[in-house]
Amino acid sequence: MKIKSVFLLFAVVFLLLGCKDENNTSAISNEKPIRFGYMICDSYEDSKARFAPFNAYLQEKLGRKVEMILANTFEFEDLVKDKKVDFVHVNSIVAIILKEKYGMDMLAIDVRGRYGYKATGSIISKKGSGIKTIEDMRGKSMVFGPVMAPFGYMAQYALMLKNGFDPETDFSYYAIPAGAAKHDKVIYGVYFDKFDVGAAPTLDLDRMLAHHIVSKDDFNIIAESIPMPYCTIGAMPEVGRELEKQVTDIIMNIKKDETVLVNGEVLKVLDRMWLDGFAQPIDSEYDEIRERLKLANMAPYRKY
C-alpha cells in the first residue's frame, strides 16, 4: 500500500506541474499589467508571432503580466497621448516623435544585420533597365514603403533631395501601394517591372538575397543611405525609474540562446525577433535621422 501511495503522490505532483501555465502565469503577481506596444511589421499575425516570445520572456522575468498591444506606426502617438502604453518597440522615426513630444526614454536599440544597431535604405533598379544613377531616374516611376518607414521612405527621399533630385517633380510618378509595409512588395514591384526604381530597406534586400528569393544579379544598387539607428524600445515618463531600469536590465542581458515557452512550443527569443541582441541607444546618433526628417519636411518637424 505504501508503494501505491507514493506512486499516487508522484502522479498528483506531476499533474500539478503539467498544469502550470505555459507562460509561467502561476508566478505572476496581481499587480496592474504592464502594457507593451509593438509596431506592426509586415502584418498583424506575423508581428504577433515575432514578438510573442519576447513579451512572454519579459513577463516571466518580471513576474508580472505584460499585455501585448500591436499597432501601426501612425497609431502610437494617440496610444501615448491617451496613456494606453507603458513601453513601446517602434522604428526610429516614431521613437524620435515620442521622445520629443512626450518625453519617452530610449532604453534599447535592436541589433541586426551587417550594420549592427544601425540600418540603411537603398534605391534599387532592375538590371538591364539602364537606370544606374540618380540622374538616370528622371522621368521614371518609383515605389516607396510606408511614409513613416525610416529605411523604406525617409532615407531614400532625403538622399534624392541631397543629390539635387526632387521626387515631387522629377519622377513621372511615385506610389506607396497598399501592403507596402511588407517591404518585400517594394522589391517585387521593381523585380516584376511594375516600377522603374524602388526604396528598399537594405536589411530586407539582404534577407531576400540570403534566402535566394532574389539574386544580387537582379538589381542595380543606385544609391544607399548612411547607416542610422534602427528600431528602438522606449518607456513612457509615467513608468517610473525603478521599473524602467528593471525592464532595461532584462532586455540588455538577453542571451542569444534564451528560450521561452509559447503555446506549447519552446522558442528562441532573439531568433524569433530576427535580432542578434540589443544595444544602448545614443541620442546624438539619432541626429542623422532628425536632419533628414527636417529636410524631407516630415513629423515631428513638418512646417506645412
Average the pLDDT over 224-233 and give the result: 98
pLDDT band, very low/low/confident/very high, at 261 (cuts 50, 70, 90): very high
Burial label, 169 (beta-carbon count in 10 A; 0-12, 13-18, 19+): exposed
d(C-alpha 231, C-alpha 281), whole Å:
10
| 225 contacts 156 by C-beta, under 8 angstroms | yes
d(C-alpha 256, C-alpha 60), whole Å:
17
Q: Strand pairing of 228-229 and 118-119?
A: antiparallel
Report which DSSP code applies to 172.
S
Residue type, 279: A
Lowest mean pLDDT segment, chosen from 5-14, 38-47, 51-60: 5-14
pLDDT of residue 12: 42
Domains and CATH numbers, the chain: 28-112+230-295 (3.40.190.10), 121-225 (3.40.190.10)
Please report the DSSP string for 17-47 in residue order.
Answer: HHTS-TT-GGG--SSPPEEEEEE--S-HHHH
Average the pLDDT over 281-304 and give the result: 96
d(C-alpha 165, C-alpha 151), whole Å:
18
Instruction: Count other C-beta atoms under 10 Å from residue 216's C-beta.
Output: 10
pLDDT of residue 20: 41
The pTM for the full model equals 0.89
d(C-alpha 10, C-alpha 4), whole Å:
10
d(C-alpha 115, C-alpha 226), whole Å:
10
Residue type, 275: L
In the predicted model, what is the mean pLDDT of the chain? 92
pLDDT band, very low/low/confident/very high, at 13 (cuts 50, 70, 90): very low
- Residue/partner pairs of 40-46 with CB below 8 Å, 24 or more apart: 40/70, 40/71, 40/72, 40/181, 41/181, 42/181, 42/182, 43/181, 43/182, 44/70
Average the pLDDT over 184-201 and give the result: 97
Residue type, 184: D
Q: Residue 166 has which C-alpha cell?
A: 526632387
pLDDT of residue 62: 97
**Residue 249 pLDDT greater than 70, yes or no:** yes
pLDDT of residue 304: 79
Taking only the tens place, the pLDDT of each residue in 92-111 is 999 999 999 999 999 999 99
d(C-alpha 299, C-alpha 144), whole Å:
17
pLDDT of residue 27: 65
State the maximum Cα–Cα separation within the chain, in Å, rounded to a whole number.
Answer: 90
Percent helix, percent strand, percent coil in the chain, to nearest 5: 45, 20, 35
Percent of the chain with pLDDT over 70: 91
Q: Strand pairing of 34-39 and 66-71?
A: parallel
Residues 6+ apart with CB under 8 A from 266: 259, 260
Report which DSSP code applies to 139.
T
CA-nearest of 8, 3, 231, 9 to 109 is 231
Taking only the tens place, the pLDDT of each residue in 77-86 is 999 999 999 9
Taking only the tens place, the pLDDT of each residue in 24-55 is 444 677 889 999 999 998 889 999 999 999 99
